[in-house]
Amino acid sequence: MNLLGKPTVEFCEKAGNGIIKRPFYALSNLAYILTGLIILSKKTRYSKAFGYTAITIGLLSFAYDASYTYLSQLLDLVGMLVFVNLLIYLSVKRLFNIRTTKIILIQLALVTLGLFAIIFFQSFSGEFVFGIFISFLILLEFLLWRANKTENIVLWMTGLGMFLLGFIIWLPDAIGLWCDPKNIINGRSLFHVLTSSTIYLLYRYYELQKEDHNF
C-alpha dihedral, 99 to 54 to 50 to 168, nearest 10°: -80
Of 69, 7, 58, residue with least CA distance to 29: 58
Domain boundaries, the chain: 23-208
Helix (H, G, I), strand (E, B), or coil: what is residue 8?
coil
User: With contact defined as beta carbons under 8 Å apart, do 58 and 66 qualify?
Assistant: no
User: With contact defined as beta carbons under 8 Å apart, do 192 and 29 qualify?
Assistant: yes
Cα 126 to Cα 170: distance, rounded to the nearest angstrom: 15
pTM, to two decimals: 0.89
Residue 135: other Cβ atoms inside 10 A? 10
Write out the chain's pLDDT in tens, 215 residues: 666 778 777 777 788 888 898 888 899 999 999 999 999 999 999 999 999 999 999 999 999 999 989 899 889 989 999 999 999 999 999 999 888 999 999 999 999 998 888 888 776 677 788 889 999 999 999 999 999 999 899 999 999 999 999 989 888 877 777 777 677 778 888 999 999 999 999 999 999 997 654 45
Single-letter amino acid, residue 32: Y
